[in-house]
Amino acid sequence: NSTKPVIYPFNPNFITDYKGYKLGMSVEELDKLFAFRKENKYVNSAKEFQTVTGVSDSLLNAISPYFKFPDWVNQPKKQYTSYSNNKFENKKPIVKVDINLATQEDLIKVYGIGPALSERILKQKESLGGFVSMEQMQFIWGLSPEVVENLNKHFIVTAEPKISKVDINNASVKELAKFPYFNYSIAKEIVTHRSMNGEIKNIEDLTKIKGLPSEKIKIIALYLEF
């Protein structure tokens, strides 16, 4: 009896190992998707799903009719075009604002940013004491690559903010764990590393700390006092 299993609409960003296997995806294809998702990125179309995973056209044709993306993926574009039909609006040169001075209203003007994401950006800024680089936008949960690109068109870091730097060699586990790019287990690793190897002197020493996200190390170093 070879009745095909019923497939219900699903968001391909949240495919599990088991579901992927049932759909006919290979381990490599699933791993590529998981690696992409690990960077807090989302696929927003069937074509993007194929680009990320490398699934064959035939498999894509078989499963993509069941892909269901959240409404906001398809919606904002319509609202956006209707409200910027003003011919002059598109010709205005963009004056970049310092991200550290941006208000919630400034952020919401950016296509793809709503109240929740703007609040998340402001909270992250507050907890860090300020952004040191626009690169940090890609570390904020929920910002798609497209939105990060839009933010980069409108904002800039003009001057290094006055942040109170983390004293990496003297701070306690509790103090270190408060820093947004660390967590409790990284804080423990830092303290262990200090007691085993002496002071942490530079970026190279940071790379030896287990669990520290390598793509953030250059940014993290700017918040530290060695």
Structure confidence by residue, pLDDT tens digits, 143-186? 999 999 999 999 999 988 889 999 999 999 999 999 999 999 99
What's the CA gap between 200 and 191, in Å, rounded?
A: 10
Tokens standing for residue 144: 């798609």
b/e 56-68 (16+ beta carbons within 10 angstroms → b):
eeebbeebeeebe
Cα 180-185-187 angle, rounded to 5 deg = 60
Element (H, E) at 167: strand 166-167
What's the CA gap between 118 and 122, in Å, rounded?
A: 6
By the 10 Å C-beta count (0-12 exposed, 13-18 middle, 19+ buried), 29 is classed as buried
pLDDT category at 78 given cuts 50, 70, 90 is: very low
What pLDDT is attached to residue 49?
94
What's the CA gap between 56 and 18, in Å, rounded?
A: 19
> Across the strands, what pairs with 224?
166
What pLDDT is attached to residue 85?
47
What's the CA gap between 50 and 33, in Å, rounded?
A: 10
Of 159 and 64, the structure prediction assigns the larger pLDDT to: 64
First to last CA, the chain: 68
Residue 58 has pLDDT above 60, yes or no: yes
State whether residue 63 is helix, strand or coil. helix
Per-residue CA distances from 203 to 16, 46, 212, 222 (Å): 36, 40, 11, 10
Strand duo 97-98 + 155-156: pairing: parallel
Per-residue CA distances from 142 to 8, 54, 56, 148, 191 (Å): 25, 24, 28, 10, 31
pTM: 0.59
pLDDT category at 10 given cuts 50, 70, 90 is: confident
What's the CA gap between 62 and 82, in Å, rounded?
A: 35
Tokens standing for residue 56: 């064959």
What's the CA gap between 62 and 217, in Å, rounded?
A: 41
> Across the strands, what pairs with 110?
none
State whether residue 198 is helix, strand or coil. coil
Per-residue CA distances from 130 to 106, 121, 190 (Å): 16, 10, 23
